[in-house]
Amino acid sequence: MKNNCNELSKKIGSLITAGAISLTLSGCDAREVSTNNSNNTQSVIDTTNSDSLEDGVQQILDIPGENFKLKVGYQCVLNDGEKWTVTSDKSIFMEVSTLGLPEDMKVYIDNIHTDTTICSHYPQINGIMQDSMDDRIHNSLMYGFSISDTNSFYGINQIDGQNDTFIKGFTYGYNGYSSGSVNEQRFLESDYLKKGVYANKISSVIDLIVVKGEEFSFTSVESEVTVSVWPYIELKNANGESYYKYYHLNEQGKIEVLELTEEEFIIQTQIDSNKLTRKK
């Protein structure tokens, strides 16, 4: 079955403007292809598409052992001019409620554990952990966050751009493991794009407490969304004029860099850059 990351990489790979200057990064003639396990092929937020940013993602998920459903929604939290990049701190909004909950039942969220990893075309980089968080109620007055068909849990997952753990993991993936010491350092956005990074996969486990009368049951639901990384880098020439580099996987399975003028960049993205992000 195709997964989030593979579908997203095809979308990104199709955005090529005729006449753009290309430079193919060197690599082996044959390489191992990344394998990404995913349980939801539709939950993709494409940050190069204004409609996708505006709409976000809505999921209706089965709850093991129960007849009602869990509704989960995601939306990128970006201000005007901001992009979803690897190196920047970023946030994603999450809404959770039920669908078809019987009147004699109550549901509480006990804990939400979320891992954010990077998706890359290259196995040595793919799946490196970028951030992790747990969200649970911080008092003893309630079982957890109460949710129903009409009452939602609202939360924001704040994702670090480059914390120490992520830098260490990427450094070994970038340079390869060796017996000698490795110099850990912060990387440029272009370093990640050169290594085939094209998305973040945000995977959550939502632990639920289900109450019916005097009976309590506990169950967990998995939810996953993939958010594409902005694949363009802006640079300035000696005259202070902007030009861009666009990174994508070509048909030969190698990372290709297209150099674009500002006009070509606007044509390729096909939308006003001021409308790329959703106003909050």
pLDDT at 114 over 70: yes
As for how many domains the chain has, the answer is 1
pLDDT in tens, 227-264: 999 999 999 999 999 999 999 999 988 999 999 999 99
Give the number of other CB atoms < 10 A from CB of residue 38.
18
Residue 259 lies in a domain: no
pLDDT in tens, 211-228: 999 999 999 999 999 999
Range of the domain at 149: 42-245+268-275
Q: How far apart are CA 84 and CA 276, in angstroms?
A: 10
Q: How far apart are CA 52 and CA 36, in angstroms?
A: 22
Residue 26 lies in a domain: no
- Pick 239 or 137 by higher pLDDT: 239
CATH number at residue 116: 2.60.40.10
* pLDDT of the residue at 136: 86
Residue 147 lies in a domain: yes
pLDDT at 202 over 60: yes
Give the number of other CB atoms < 10 A from CB of residue 279.
8
Residue 188 lies in a domain: yes
Residue 150 lies in a domain: yes
pLDDT in tens, 240-249: 999 999 999 9
Using alpha carbons, list the distances in angstroms from residue 103 to 68, 77, 148, 174, 271: 11, 34, 9, 54, 46
Tell me what the mean pLDDT of segment 188-198 comes to.
93
**Paired strand residues for 203:** 115, 224
pLDDT at 203 over 60: yes
Binning pLDDT at 50, 70 and 90, where does residue 84 land?
A: very high
Helix, strand, coil share of the chain (percent; to 5): 15, 40, 45
Residue 233 lies in a domain: yes
Residue appearing with tokens 């753009």: 20
Residue 20 lies in a domain: no
Residue 178 lies in a domain: yes
